[in-house]
Structure 1
Amino acid sequence: MNAVRVVMAAVVCVACVVVPSVAPPAQAQLLGKGDSEPLPAAPLEAYERNIAAPPQRCTDFEIVIAAGTGDSNQGDDPLHVRGLRPGSTLLADVEAAGGSVSAWQVPYTASVGVLGTLGETRTNMALPYGASLDTGKRAVRTHLATLHDACPDTKVLFLGFSQGAGLLGDLVAESPDPSLVAAYLIADPGRSRTTYHTAETVTGARGVRGENGEILIPLDGVRLASDVSGLTGPRRTSFHDAEAEVLTFCHSNDLACATQHDGLAQRVGVRLAQPAAAPLHKLAGRGFKDFGHNPIATMLALAWELAAVSHVVQEYAGETPPFSGEDITGLGVLLHVAAQELLPMAAGLGVPQIPMPLIDLIPHVMNMMPHHLAYFEGGDHPAWTIDGESVESWIAHDMVPRIQAS
């Protein structure tokens, strides 16, 4: 169905949706668990129980891992470490290098609203992006408090991708944990613009300093323009008060972390990332994954999402008429096409219709999808590298001396 394809492309661009695979990752096999386990009957109860559970053992280091959109849900067992993407071997690589290391996978909704439930996803709730971030941040805060009570000497490393990078980066900026040694943020939607100042990490890696204090580690053959930043806008709070190093990784073709600063795409991302009480989304449950559960709430929640985007685009159009191919990125176009095709389903809900006859840009945006996953090996796009090795492998090798130095 064309409408579904349009919506899926829109969701990918707006909120970094990652189409997940259900193949069991290396870490899950390492811990003796597979991905075929059914979700708990009461995921919210499991969420509350899991985030407050004390660690099974104290280690010198714990890696807190937050996967991207669609690759997590609140019912996940945080000790069942899936990694950032199926097939990841980062944890195994770090463990093989020696040292006392454990990992904790953030159980959060990893959702982008009702629109995000049209595609393949592991999420069990249709919460909007901002509300989803809040579930992740609450989980990490609660877990770290429990961890420090039980294991006061344990140090922490953050590792996040896409929405997961967004929530971990927010935590470092808002309330830096004194036990945090370093944060690795891949495709961070909250990335700030780069400055002209180079920087060197404590492990000797060289990068470029961001306006908020993070260090951009350059990918091989990639030059990131200084006028692009993350899709949900740079964080209002910087990393300058954090003792931990914050390393960020971004490709110029990845809209999630390299969007025109204050352009239409970023304005839409900023709007959708705002925290929301989302009572309709809570009633909608799993959205289109279980449409019969509460179809009225699902459609009302969808109308809320489309109305929010329509408002941003109308405002943008009033500032920069007329629209052009440069002014409207594929993000804005696809959202409007999605609204135009889905609005008949939500007739009478008061969502404004804005005709946007720019469907010819859809193939261009569909081609952007593999770029967001090219930080990892095994995808449709050749994996990007740092000094000749994959991004995850580079991160693993950067973690090891930090752990061994403790």
Structure 2
Amino acid sequence: MRIPAASSVALLALALWVHPAWGQDTGGLGLDLSTDTSTQEQDSPDMGLDLRDNDPKTELMPRFVLLGLDTPERAGAQQASAWLKTLARGAMSSGMVTLGANLQDTRERLAEGYDAAVRCTEVACLAEPAESLDADLLTTARLSLEDAGWTLRAWTYDRDRRVVHEDVVTGRNPKDAAFQKEAATKLSNRMMALARPRAVLKVTVNVPQAVVKVGERILGVGEVEARLPPGTAQLEVSADEYSTFTRTLNLKPGAREAVDVRLEISGPAPEGPGDDAVAGVSGRKGGPSIFKRPALYTALAGLAAVGVGAVLGMGAKDVESRAGDADGDGIFDVSRKERLDAQSQANLATALIAGGGVVAAGSVVWLVVVPTRSAPKATSLEPGGGGGASSALHFVVGGSF
């Protein structure tokens, strides 16, 4: 039985609609960066393919981003899609990283800087794209003809250590499956060597405008949560007019650490009266203290001298009373030396009593007669206080009138 031509065309169209992969290249993660735009338009791959794992366990894995593939030769550009899918799957097969962004997201986020980033092979130009993409491991590659033949060079930037590692694989032609597989294995091994599980740090602070830093990296303002590489880190939380909080953290792989920070105000103390003003108020309330006057201590010294002189005089009197012959045996009861010492004590006692009495009397007169000055008017804090110099007479026992 013959089938009409129209029916054959309809059946073919239906088949292509049900299985679109039969009529087009599914592409993948590839991106043709060659200068031949006609080839790029013909082989435009699907840059939106997302290989990211939604498993919660991957949250603490390092984020890997494949920037792209530079293919200067036309033969390499035609295989760009297959190569990029192979490299991406090789990195993910290590089981040590999670995909941070697909090629479409990467190109959109880097915008005009994308082409330069893909062709970059040094820390200076890979650090900024890594920060923009929040990629812990960032890889860019180049497939080209070199002296040794077809060569794939892959440069992987390690953001934790700020180092670029290079891997090189050579093969017969870009279509060689063994060539592609070897490159994927190299990249997988590189991921296993560099990847380290992240640590999660959560910082809460009582000052919303406080800046949170770890080392030289600013994590954010106020309450923040960040994925950080394991190891020793210096946490600093600071805000204007507040004290700075610092702590050395030992972040362990796969661990979660929370730090609660309470900053205290550290600005200048509120303005208040000076020491002179406080002294003036104290002087007005309690009066000048008699214990701060030298005359009191000279009077006490004088009285002490009088007391010592009195004791020495009593000793001399005792020796004098025993200077005669009380028992009538014709021999004095004291020796000549004792009489001479007693005479010296008597003279010293007289001098101490006289001198001490004069000093004590003079000091008492000074305390009673000489006035004391209060604080100057400028330091007075009492409402309506007249200030100025005032006088008061003080007795030895204190008090004034």
Q: Give the structure-2-normalised TM-score.
A: 0.25
The higher radius of gyration belongs to 2
Which is strand-richer, 1 or 2?
2
Q: Give the structure-1-normalised TM-score.
A: 0.24
- Larger RCO of the pair (alpha carbons < 8 Å, separation 6+): 1
